[in-house]
Amino acid sequence: MNPRITNHVIEEDLQTILSNDLPWQVFSGCRIVITGAGGFLGGYLLRTLLALYHSGKVSEPLQVVASVRNVELARSRLMDCIDDDQLELIHWDLSDIAIPDLGDCQYVLHAASQASPRFYGRDPVGTLMPNAIGTASLLHALQRSSDPRGLLFVSSSEVYGQISGDRTLAESDFGHLDPTTVRACYAESKRLGETLCVAWHHQFGLPTYIVRPFHTYGPNLLADDGRVFSDFTYNVIRGENIEMMSDGQARRAFCYVSDAIAGFFTVLLKGQPATAYNVANPAGELSVIELAELLIGLCPDKKLKVEKRLPPGDQSYISSTFDRLIPDVHRLLNLRWTAQVTPEQGFSRMIEAQSL
Domains of the chain, earliest start first: 8-221+256-283+323-342 (3.40.50.720)
Q: How far apart are CA 137 and CA 182, in angstroms?
A: 24
Distance of CA 22 to the CA centre of its chain: 20
Q: How far apart are CA 46 and CA 56, in angstroms?
A: 16
Distances in Å between the Cα of 75 and the Cα atoms of 39, 241, 256 are: 11, 33, 25
Alpha-carbon dihedral sign for residues 306, 310, 313, 314: positive
DSSP 245: -
What's the pTM value of the predicted model, to 2 decimals?
0.94
Q: Which residues pair with 200 in a beta bridge?
A: none
pLDDT in tens, the chain (356 residues): 444 556 999 999 999 999 999 999 999 999 999 999 999 999 999 999 999 999 999 999 999 999 999 999 999 999 999 999 999 999 999 999 999 999 999 999 999 998 888 889 899 999 999 999 999 999 999 999 999 999 999 999 999 998 776 778 999 999 889 999 999 999 999 999 999 999 999 999 999 999 999 999 999 999 989 899 999 999 999 999 998 888 899 999 999 999 999 999 999 999 999 999 999 999 999 999 999 999 999 999 999 999 987 665 555 544 555 578 889 999 999 999 999 999 999 999 999 999 87
Instruction: For the beta carbon of residue 125, count every other beta carbon within 10 angstroms.
Output: 8
Distances in Å between the Cα of 158 and the Cα atoms of 94, 116, 142, 163, 346 are: 20, 11, 26, 11, 23
186 labelled catalytic: yes
Distances in Å between the Cα of 188 and the Cα atoms of 9, 31, 129, 192, 198 are: 35, 31, 11, 6, 15
Q: Which of 107, 120, 186, 234 is catalytic?
A: 186
Q: How far apart are CA 8 and CA 162, in angstroms?
A: 40
One-letter amino acid for residue 82 of the chain: I
User: Which three-class secondary structure state does DSSP give residue 13?
Assistant: helix
Question: What DSSP letter does each residue of 289-325 carry, written as one string?
Answer: HHHHHHHHHH-GGG---EEE-PPPS-TT------SEE
